[in-house]
Amino acid sequence: MGSYIYSDTAITWQQRYVGLSEDDPESSKAPAAGGSDEHLQPPPGPPREEGHPLAPYKMFLLAIAVGVFGGFGAIVFKTIIAFFQNLFFFGELSLTYLPDEHIDPSPWGALIILVPIIGALLVTWITRTLAPEARGHGVPEVLDAIYYRQGHISPVVVLAKALASAISIGTGGSVGREGPIIQIGSAFASTLGQLAGMPTRQRIALIGAGAAAGIAATFNAPIGGLAFAIELLLISISARTVAMVAVATVTATYIGRLYSGLDPSFDVPPIAQFADHLVNLYTLLLCVPFGVLLGAASALFIRSLYWMEDLFAAGIKNEYARHMLGMLAVGVLMYAMLRIFGEYYVAGVGYASIMDVLRGVLTDPWLLLILFAAKLLATIMTLGSGASGGVFSPSLFLGATLGGSVGQFLAWLFPGAGIEPVIFAVAGMAAMVSGTTGAVLTAITMLIEQTRDYSAILPIITSVALAYMVRVWLTADSIYTLKLARRGSIIPEGLQAPVNSAKTASEVMTDDFQIIDISQVSLWQTGYLPGQGARYTVVAKDGRIVGMARPELIYLLKDKDPENVIDTEIMTVAPDTTWSTILRYLRAKQSHTVVVMNRRRSRRASDMLGIIGYQEITETAHESAELLE
């Protein structure tokens, strides 16, 4: 619909942009205020991004580097944990670490209660001195960097998180090593991305690869690591980003196996296959109330953790005293478990207790419920008071003990139904991870990889789905996003694909515009007021676009001070420019309007095809909203 309207009215105005010439888009400078007409420059083209996008092969090389770091990083992290655990529990300088075996009773006797307190003192000093973001379970800080800090994570986090988390775990803190290695891998990837000068979107993809590499190497689960990055970290998914993350997970897993071997994380006897399909139906039906129970348990874990955090923060202002008091309670609980049940149980990552449940060593349903309650209390005391460590392993512990208890109870209640308690233990692990983290696909794939057993796949999926839905009904945020929501930072739980990313400027623009060339014949003397009827009015001078005019104020063009009429903060793009690129340009330049030209870098009014303004942006966003939850 575009049309020309001409005026020979001479006007000048103070330019508010850095002009770009058609031949050299970066050579022109903004004229001084009040400059004459001869200094007029065409509106600027798309701004340069933070960094030039790297070629795909370079990104894949960086993904391999991130995978190498993730693999060796996981090995080094386990070694540091072994050092501190042997030092504080036994007074030995040893790097032997057997997470699948219970910690032997310490020669310190009751003085073992003091070990977590010493760890709290060291952890608090590290987090206060080196990196406050090293406190907590790690993943929320990675999400915050992705969504609110353009993927920037301080390099010092690598060292601070490794030391703080290793000390927390090694001195008996009830936390996992997955969250820390995710944050460590992400921090390395962010640093690498900043050094390479890549744009934000590529840096975020590399961060996803770093996190996936860490979790893949830790659990010997490359598919689980890939699923974790897709569900929680990657803002957009394409074959290229998925392939890049996959390369990192494969590299990290291969290197991690140099230390851990080829066995799965939980090397348990094969789960017995169902005798017939009807027995499988009984188990699936029982998984319905079981999934509801695990969803409620997930909500309890999330809410109790942050309730304990608030309780400590409100009651004790000094961070050292706060964390030392919390770990004193953990030390007392840990020692009490040893005296009563013969093992520390709640100390550290808890893999040995999980193995006991899966192998049928722990079968008393009441003992399993006690372990569930004790681990829940130990975890919220550890993290709530200021420790550094993950929530993934505690979630597995809680799911295994609660699931094992329910399975044993159901096997007693329905002796002829062929109930396998271990199936409920495995399904409980997956359901607890799904409910607490919101990573449904990750929970399913990772438990299959960790046990290497497909027999319980249907109960796992049923329990995971129901646990997630119930948890969302009880508390909308996951254990990761609630921490950020309490700060006022909203993070989407799981991936929401940018459905309009494939659209181009020509699909979004409107041709409902008119062009006024102020250097041509005048229409003002006729009393005709242009601008009526067209959605947008473009102002040109000597056939070149110089700005946009507010239609309701076009009559002011005949005055000598049209400063409030013409907006020079516009950009020009080619018709094939993608929607995501347009949005990045608008944000970087703080502009409101995009002019679509049929020739790249052209500023001639005759080359103009359409305009993208507030209305077009809003309409496109509405189209996205219709396809997203």
**Given pLDDT bands bounded at 50, 70 and 90, which one contains residue 274?**
low
Q: Is residue 387's pLDDT more than 80? A: yes
Residue at 89 is within a domain: yes
More confident residue, 366 or 572: 366
**pLDDT reported for residue 30:** 35
Q: Which of 30-34, 170-174, 589-593 has the lowest average pLDDT? A: 30-34
> H helices within 261-390, ranges in order?
277-315, 319-341, 351-358, 365-384
Phi, psi of 176 (to 5 degrees): -105, 170
Specify the pLDDT at position 526. 37
pLDDT for 452 equals: 75
- Return the minimum-mean-pLDDT range out of 85-94, 145-154, 336-345: 145-154
CATH of the domain at 552: 3.10.580.10
Inside any domain, residue 328: yes
Q: Which of 63-77, 226-240, 332-346, 526-540 has the lowest mean pLDDT?
A: 526-540
Q: Are residues 137 and 27 in the same domain?
A: no
Going by C-beta distance under 8 Å and a sequence separation of 6 or more, which residues neighbour residue 499? Answer: 623, 624, 627, 628
Q: Which of 40, 48, 37, 1 is nearest to 571 (CA)?
A: 48
* pLDDT at res. 521: 45
Whole-number average pLDDT of the chain: 81
**Average of per-residue pLDDT across 431-449:** 90
Q: Are residues 340 and 463 in the same domain?
A: yes
- Same domain? For 350 and 222 the reply is no
Let me know whether 98 and 128 are in one domain: yes
**Assigned token pair, 392:** 């993934």
| Interval 285-305: pLDDT, tens | 999 999 999 999 999 999 999
Domain that holds residue 283: 277-485
Q: Is residue 88 part of a domain?
A: yes
Q: Tally the domains of the chain.
A: 3
In a domain, 490, yes or no: no
* Mean pLDDT of all residues in 308-322: 92
Split at pLDDT 50, 70, 90, the class of 447 is confident
The token pair at 213 is: 């590499």
The HSE-up count of residue 88 (CA atoms within 13 Å, CB side) is 28
Q: How far is CA 218 from the centre of its chain?
A: 18
Which region holds residue 350: left if phi is over 0, alpha if psi is between -120 and 50, else beta? left
- 431, pLDDT greater than 70: yes
Q: Kindly report, residue by residue over 538-582, the tens digit of the pLDDT.
A: 888 778 887 777 655 555 555 544 455 677 777 888 888 877 778
Among 235, 260, 285, identify where a domain stops.
260
- Would you state the pLDDT for residue 89? 94
Does 316 score more than 70 pLDDT? yes
Whether residue 248 is predicted with pLDDT greater than 90 in this model: the reply is yes
Distance from CA of residue 482 to its chain's centroid? Answer: 13
Residues 61, 180 within the same domain: yes
138 and 44 within one domain: no
Over 90: is that where the pLDDT of 113 sits?
Answer: yes
For the record, the structure tokens of 594 come out as 């995009």
The answer to the question of residue 272 being in a domain is no
446 within domain boundaries: yes
Co-location of 293 and 224 in the same domain: no
Closest to 546 measured CA to CA, from 570, 582, 523, 521 = 570
pLDDT band at 528 (very low <50, low <70, confident <90, very high): very low
- Both 471 and 329 in a single domain? yes
Residue 168, in any domain of the structure: yes
Residue 111: CB atoms within 10 A of its CB come to 11
Least confident of 65-74, 177-186, 587-596: 587-596
Co-location of 27 and 142 in the same domain: no
Residue 50 has pLDDT above 80, yes or no: no
Cα 441 to its chain centre, rounded Å, is 15
Q: Are residues 616 and 528 in the same domain?
A: yes
Q: Same domain, yes or no, for 207 and 88?
A: yes
pLDDT surpassing 80 at residue 15? no
User: Domain of 193: which CATH number?
Assistant: 1.10.3080.10
pLDDT at 475 over 60: yes
Residue 332 in domain: yes
The amino acid present at 29, given as its one-letter code, is K
pLDDT, position 212: 93
Q: What is the pLDDT of residues 204-230, one digit of tens each?
A: 899 999 999 998 988 888 898 999 988
Q: Which of left, alpha, beta for 19 (phi over 0: left; psi -120 to 50: alpha)?
A: beta
Q: Which of 11-15, 140-144, 549-553 has the lowest mean pLDDT?
A: 11-15
* Cα distance between residue 207 and residue 151, in whole Å: 7
Q: Quick one: pLDDT band at residue 493, thresholds 50, 70, 90?
A: low
Give the pLDDT mean for 391-403. Answer: 94
More confident residue, 530 or 458: 458
Q: Which pLDDT value is given to residue 19?
A: 29
pLDDT of residue 46: 45
> Which has the closest alpha carbon to 168: 132, 123, 134?
123
Give 472's pLDDT tier (boundaries 50, 70, 90): very high
Q: Are residues 42 and 62 in the same domain?
A: no
- Choice between 435 and 594, residue whose per-residue pLDDT is larger: 435
For residue 44, name the pLDDT band (cuts at 50, 70, 90). Answer: very low
Let me know if 304 is exposed, middle or buried by CB neighbors in 10 A (0-12, 13-18, 19+): middle
> What pLDDT is attached to residue 66?
95
Least confident of 468-482, 490-504, 528-542: 490-504
- The confidence score (pLDDT) of residue 27 equals 34
Cβ of 279: how many Cβ atoms within 10 Å?
Answer: 16
Residue 34 burial (CB < 10 Å; 0-12/13-18/19+)? exposed
Q: Which residues pair with 318 in a beta bridge?
A: none
Weakest-pLDDT range from 36-45, 120-129, 393-402, 447-456: 36-45
Average the pLDDT over each of 308-322, 374-388, 448-462, 576-590 and give the range with the smallest value.
576-590
